[in-house]
A and B are shown apart, each in its own frame.
Chain A
Amino acid sequence: QSALTQPRSVSGSPGQSVTISCTGTSSDVGGYNYISWYQHHPGKAPKVTIYDDSKRPSGVPDRFSGSKSGSTASLTISGLQAEDEADYYCCSYAGSYTYVFGTGTKVTVL
C-alpha cells in the first residue's frame, strides 16, 4: 500500500479557511467511505477530527469539516485559529483491517 498524497504544507491567517486534500486510489480512498483525519501537535497524542469521510466526533469544533469525491478526500478548517496549527494526516481503511495514512500536511497559522 502506498501512502495517500497530501500537500506538504498549507497556511492561512486567523479567521480564514484552509483545505487539505488527500488523494488515493480506488483500493482505498475511492473504495470505502472510511476516511478519517487526525490532528497531531508534535509530542502529543494524535486526535481524530473527522471519521467516516465527514462525521465529527463530539468535542471537535464545527469549523472542521470533511468531504470526498472519488479518490480524493478533503479536510476544511474554517475560521482558522492559532491552536489549529499542527500536522494533519488523512487515513483510509484499505480492507481486511489494514489502513493507509497520508503523507501529512503542516498547517501554519500566519
Chain B
Amino acid sequence: EVQLVESGGGLVQPGGSLRLSCTASGFTFNTYVMNWVRLAPGKGLEWVSYISSPSNAIYYADSVKGRFTISRDNAKNSMYLQMNSLRADDTAVYYCARGDYLRETYFDYWGRGTLVTVSS
C-alpha cells in the first residue's frame, strides 16, 4: 500500500525557517517524481514544487521561488522542503504528492499533510 507521511510542520514567526519531510513507503520511491502542494485557509490548492526521481530537474511556483528548496534522499525514501523567509501567506497545510509514473501530469497519491502556521 502506497503511503506518504508528512512531518515537520508547526508555528514559526515571520522571517523564520522550517524544514518539512515526507516519508514514503509501499512503492519504489527512486522511480517516481514527487511534489509539494499546499492548501491555505480559505483558499484552493496550490502547487509548490516538483523534483524528478534523480533530483536533476527541480521546479518551483513563482510564489516560493528563491525562498523554498526541495530535495530528496532516495536511500531514505524521503523528500524535504526547506522553507526560509517565511511569510504569513505561507500558512497552509503542506501535502506531498507523488507524480504519476508515465507522464508525470497528475498526482496519483497524496499524504494527509502537515500544518505550517506563520505568525508572530
Establish whether residues B59 and A57, one from each chain, have CB atoms under 8 Å apart when the complex forms. no
In the complex, the chain B residue whose C-beta lies closest to that of A35 is B106
B30-65 near A? 1/0 per residue, CB < 8 Å: 000101010100011111001010000101011000
Known contacts A32-B105, A36-B105; A47/B110 CB under 8 A: yes
- In angstroms, how far is the closest chain A Cβ from the Cβ of B67? 17
What separation, in Å, do the CA atoms of A47 and B61 have in the docked complex? 22
- Chain A residues near B108 (CB, 8 Å)? 48, 51, 57
Establish whether residues A97 and B100, one from each chain, have CB atoms under 8 Å apart when the complex forms. no
Establish whether residues B106 and A98, one from each chain, have CB atoms under 8 Å apart when the complex forms. no
- Tally of chain A residues near chain B (CB < 8 A): 29
Task: Indicate whether A64 reaches chain B with its CB closer than 8 angstroms.
Answer: no
In the complex, the chain A residue whose C-beta lies closest to that of B109 is A45
What separation, in Å, do the CA atoms of A45 and B35 have in the docked complex? 14
- In angstroms, how far is the closest chain B Cβ from the Cβ of A10? 15
Task: Indicate whether A69 reaches chain B with its CB closer than 8 angstroms.
Answer: no
What separation, in Å, do the CA atoms of A100 and B63 have in the docked complex? 12
Establish whether residues A97 and B44, one from each chain, have CB atoms under 8 Å apart when the complex forms. no
Establish whether residues B103 and A34, one from each chain, have CB atoms under 8 Å apart when the complex forms. yes
Establish whether residues B57 and A51, one from each chain, have CB atoms under 8 Å apart when the complex forms. no
In the complex, the chain A residue whose C-beta lies closest to that of B103 is A34
- Chain A residues near B52 (CB, 8 Å)? 97
- Chain A residues near B110 (CB, 8 Å)? 45-47
With a 10 A CB-CB cut-off, give which of A34, A46, A57, A100 has the most chain B CB atoms.
A46
- Chain A residues near B105 (CB, 8 Å)? 32, 34, 36, 51-52, 93
Establish whether residues A48 and B107, one from each chain, have CB atoms under 8 Å apart when the complex forms. yes
